[in-house]
């Protein structure tokens, strides 16, 4: 019913010594903020929201950043990203979406068919893509969706909570 | 485990022809925003949040306002409240918390032991009080709590969702 | 060139033991915030701006509030206004615009031909009306206008500058 | 009484075909926003304020940006700045503060003894430095200062007013 979330194709990770993968994160709820460091909507809305998710849900979810550069490639280099992460106090792992060979669209952005940045991706405990939202999503709605993913069983969505 | 939510003691309802009661709302999730119309934190934060809940969760929850006046009684009369509801485009039912006989604390505020306004109360499908939060609560956290209450079975919290 | 600012017609003053009048304030720059306590735009924008003017310009200007009630008269009574001023920490003098005999428009609102609330009125050192702005005005623009009124001579606006 | 504003030392200009200089701008009021493109306070406060100044005062002032990079030099290159200016819709001329030979502090930043970014510099019609403010300055205060500089005579600040 839900599509499998494609594996992330990352050329370089920041904020982690242990490069994450969706495969290794199976069993956990993963929140992926796809952004570009020079995208105003990402800076003012998307990234602060991802930081709030990290603060509100703690270890119940894994928050990852995905730097999907599809414009101004020469400006948003990994070295520039590193400075950006430092200045904006971003502490979750951030992966550089692998540059694509042809049209400038990076590989993970292509496999998820992202429409732009910011985009928010939610992957459930079974590794399935449950949300792929371009633009702004209300915190109330996001909190509801994440809570429901957290409450799903790793064996499926059947629940027998107390 | 969870206490039963005391019935609301209301002297007058606005925005409804059919005065609600927690008894009659059994089976539904009820979100109650306790406020005073001249409380700045209620006007800038609590009430807009209740309006966002109404917008995000639609018919999955019942949003009620509770006007619990414990100061400036002569200023925050029912006729003043009616004008306030009109000006601030508040469309959910709002009940006037019945004035108390002695110390100026209205009756529902007393039975819920509210610490002030704004306070947010969440009542589950079984009529139990699940949240009694004074002051500000983050939308992400609130969205999560409400979603979980919605997902609980009317027969109890056991779930057998697909 | 500029019209004389009509005298304020006030039925009751708050936050002062010494009822101000434009006549007595001649020689000073007067900033008048016309508002209604249940007008959302007044509460969220107009009044906070008047408080910033008070903070930024200190004794260089006289800030006054004018409670011009033209709707919901029974809700926005003087006793309700007093509670409002307390809750919103409004410390400048606020006068109740004298209710009008016929159409519910108070007298000062009529003499200034205010279009609604919030309205900002600026009176120069010579008692002339220099600004009558309905709705929102940018702080940068307002700061510029007020500074220029402050810099005008009490004897007139002539300056050596071109 | 007021110090002469040191000439800007710029390695490259953006948003202009005609590189400005304080010398050539003598007679005009110049508003200089010193910033770094990866400084959060610059992005959220300083630059939007400079854009508001441009909008409010129009041709009465000349707004310039000064990109004074003193950290993360490898991230905030001219090519990155160009993308930033495009994404944030910055249309006033922006000069790259000439990198310093030794300690990484660019030359104009040194000559103005800037304490950091954002800093706001105001230069009067006579080329004198009238404000050098690090951090946030209220719009009301800034509007007042700029209006007064605009009103000063190019021949000096003498006025008939007291």
Mean pLDDT of A21-43: 98
Hey, is the C-beta of C48 within 8 angstroms of any chain D C-beta?
Answer: no
What pLDDT does residue A160 have? 44
What pLDDT does residue D161 have? 42
The shortest C-alpha distance from B116 to chain C (Å) reads 14
Hey, is the C-beta of D126 within 8 angstroms of any chain A C-beta?
Answer: no
Mean pLDDT of C112-118: 98
What pLDDT does residue D1 have? 81
Q: What percent of chain A has pLDDT over 70?
A: 96
B161/A158 Cβ within 8 A? yes
Query: Across-strand partners of D156?
Result: D153
Higher pLDDT pick, C145 / B153: C145
Give the residue among C139, C111, C113, C115 at the shortest CA–CA distance from C31: C139
Please tell me the distance from the alpha carbon of residue D148 to that of residue B63, in angstroms, as a whole number: 53
What pLDDT does residue B156 have? 60
Instruction: For residue C149, give the H/E element and its range.
Output: helix C139-151
CA angle C15, C16, C18 (to 5 degrees): 165
D83/A80 Cβ within 8 A? no
- Beta strand C61-67 with C29-35 is parallel
What pLDDT does residue A1 have? 81
Hey, is the C-beta of B58 within 8 angstroms of any chain A C-beta?
Answer: no
Hey, is the C-beta of A104 within 8 angstroms of any chain D C-beta?
Answer: no
Please tell me the distance from the alpha carbon of residue B19 to that of residue B93, in angstroms, as a whole number: 8
C39/B43 Cβ within 8 A? no
D79/A38 Cβ within 8 A? no
The shortest C-alpha distance from A153 to chain D (Å) reads 40
Show the low-confidence residues of chain B (pLDDT under 50). 159-162
Give the residue among A42, A30, A22, A9 at the shortest CA–CA distance from A119: A42
Domain for residue D10, yes or no?
A: no
| Residue A20 reports pLDDT greater than 50 | yes
C38/B83 Cβ within 8 A? yes
Q: Which of A39, A74, A87 sits opposite D38 (nearest CB)?
A: A87
How would you list the strands of the sheet with A29-35, edge to edge? Answer: A10-14, A94-97, A61-67, A29-35, A119-123, A129-134
Mean pLDDT of C63-89: 98
Asked whether this complex has an ipTM greater than 0.85, the answer is yes
Hey, is the C-beta of C147 within 8 angstroms of any chain D C-beta?
Answer: yes
Domain for residue C82, yes or no?
A: yes
| Residue C161 reports pLDDT greater than 50 | no
Give C-chain residues touching B79 at CB under 8 angstroms.
Answer: 74-75
Strand segments (E) across A83-156: 94-97, 119-123, 129-134
What pLDDT does residue C75 have? 97
What pLDDT does residue B161 have? 42
Domain for residue C143, yes or no?
A: no
Please tell me the distance from the alpha carbon of residue A47 to that of residue A50, in angstroms, as a whole number: 5
Chains contacting chain A through 3 or more C-beta pairs under 8 A:
B, D
Please tell me the distance from the alpha carbon of residue B127 to that of residue B28, in angstroms, as a whole number: 8
The shortest C-alpha distance from C131 to chain D (Å) reads 16
Higher pLDDT pick, C108 / D154: C108
CB burial string D28-60: b at 16+ within 10 A, e below: bbbbbbbbbbbbebbbebbbebbbbbbebbeee
The shortest C-alpha distance from D25 to chain A (Å) reads 31
Count of structural domains within chain A? 1
Hey, is the C-beta of A38 within 8 angstroms of any chain B C-beta?
Answer: no
What pLDDT does residue A147 have? 98
Hey, is the C-beta of B138 within 8 angstroms of any chain A C-beta?
Answer: yes
Mean pLDDT of D109-118: 98
Give the residue among B23, B42, B21 at the shortest CA–CA distance from B95: B21
Query: Across-strand partners of B123?
Result: B30, B129
| Residue D156 reports pLDDT greater than 90 | no
What pLDDT does residue B1 have? 81
The shortest C-alpha distance from B114 to chain C (Å) reads 19
Chain B and chain D touch, per 3+ beta carbon pairs within 8 A: no
Give B-chain residues touching C82 at CB under 8 angstroms.
Answer: 75
Give C-chain residues touching D139 at CB under 8 angstroms.
Answer: 138-140, 143
D143/C139 Cβ within 8 A? yes
How would you list the strands of the sheet with C119-123, edge to edge? Answer: C10-14, C94-97, C61-67, C29-35, C119-123, C129-134
CA distances in angstroms from D46 to B33, D34, D41, D134, D142, listed in the order given: 38, 8, 7, 10, 12
Q: How confident is the model at residue A101 (pLDDT cuts 50, 70, 90)?
A: confident
Mean pLDDT of A15-44: 98
Domain for residue B157, yes or no?
A: no
Domain for residue D103, yes or no?
A: no
3 state SS of B91: coil
| Residue C162 reports pLDDT greater than 60 | no
What pLDDT does residue A156 have? 60
Mutation target to probe the D interface, by most D beta carbons within 10 A, among A74, A87, A96, A117 is A87
**Full-prediction pTM beyond 0.95?**
no
Q: What percent of chain D has pLDDT over 70?
A: 96
Mutation target to probe the A interface, by most A beta carbons within 10 A, among B2, B52, B61, B147 is B147
Is the CB of residue D127 less than 8 Å from the CB of residue D23? yes
CA distances in angstroms from C22 to C25, C32, C116, C133, listed in the order given: 5, 11, 21, 18
What pLDDT does residue C156 have? 60
Instruction: Output the domain CATH number for residue B43.
Output: 3.40.30.10
Where residue A89 falls (left for φ over 0; alpha for ψ -120 to 50; beta otherwise) is left
Give the residue among C159, C4, C47, D94 at the shortest CA–CA distance from B44: C47
Cis peptide before D5 (omega within 30 of 0): no
Instruction: For residue C51, give the H/E element and its range.
Output: helix C47-57
- Beta strand B29-35 with B10-14 is unpaired
Give the residue among A88, A86, A107 at the shortest CA–CA distance from A96: A107
Give the residue among A66, A62, A65 at the shortest CA–CA distance from A30: A62
H, E, C per residue of A16-51: CCCCCCCCCCCCCEEEEEEECCCCHHHHHHHHHHHH
Give C-chain residues touching D52 at CB under 8 angstroms.
Answer: 138, 140
Mean pLDDT of C119-143: 98
Residue-wise pLDDT for C68-80, tens only, equals 999 999 999 999 9
Mean pLDDT for chain A overall: 95
Please tell me the distance from the alpha carbon of residue B9 to that of residue B101, in angstroms, as a whole number: 13
Tokens at B146, concatenated: 């409400």
Tokens at A12, concatenated: 């370089």
B140/A56 Cβ within 8 A? yes
Give the residue among C58, C60, C52, C54 at the shortest CA–CA distance from C124: C60
Residue-wise pLDDT for D19-39, tens only, equals 999 999 999 999 999 999 999
What pLDDT does residue A154 have? 80
Mean pLDDT of A97-113: 94
Tokens at D66, concatenated: 């000064």
The shortest C-alpha distance from B74 to chain C (Å) reads 7
What pLDDT does residue D103 have? 83
Hey, is the C-beta of D73 within 8 angstroms of any chain A C-beta?
Answer: no
Range of the domain at D42: 28-66+85-93+139-152
Tokens at C80, concatenated: 């309700």
| Residue D107 reports pLDDT greater than 90 | yes
What pLDDT does residue C160 have? 44
Give the residue among D75, D69, D51, D46 at the shortest CA–CA distance from D61: D51
Tokens at A150, concatenated: 């957290």
What pLDDT does residue A157 have? 53
Where residue C113 falls (left for φ over 0; alpha for ψ -120 to 50; beta otherwise) is left
Chains contacting chain D through 3 or more C-beta pairs under 8 A:
A, C
Domain for residue A128, yes or no?
A: no
Domain for residue C64, yes or no?
A: yes
The shortest C-alpha distance from C80 to chain B (Å) reads 4
Mutation target to probe the D interface, by most D beta carbons within 10 A, among A83, A96, A104 is A83
Domain for residue D11, yes or no?
A: no
In Å, how far from its chain's centre is CA D40?
A: 17
C88/B75 Cβ within 8 A? no
Mean pLDDT for chain D overall: 95
């Amino acid at each position: 019913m839900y599509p499998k979330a494609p594996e992330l194709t990352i050329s370089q990770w920041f904020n982690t010594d242990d490069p994450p993968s969706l495969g290794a994160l199976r069993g956990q709820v993963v929140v992926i903020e796809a952004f570009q460091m020079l995208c105003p909507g990402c800076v003012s809305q998307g990234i602060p929201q991802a930081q709030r998710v990290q603060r509100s849900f703690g270890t119940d979810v894994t928050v990852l950043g995905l730097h999907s550069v599809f414009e101004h490639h020469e400006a948003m280099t990994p070295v520039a990203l590193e400075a950006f992460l430092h200045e904006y106090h971003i502490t979750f792992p951030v992966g550089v979406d692998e540059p694509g060979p042809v049209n400038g669209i990076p590989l993970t952005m292509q496999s998820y068919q992202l429409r732009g940045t910011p985009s928010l991706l939610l992957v459930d405990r079974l590794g399935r893509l449950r949300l792929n939202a371009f633009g702004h999503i209300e915190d109330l709605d996001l909190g509801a969706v994440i809570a429901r993913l957290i409450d799903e069983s790793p064996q499926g969505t059947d629940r027998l909570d107390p």
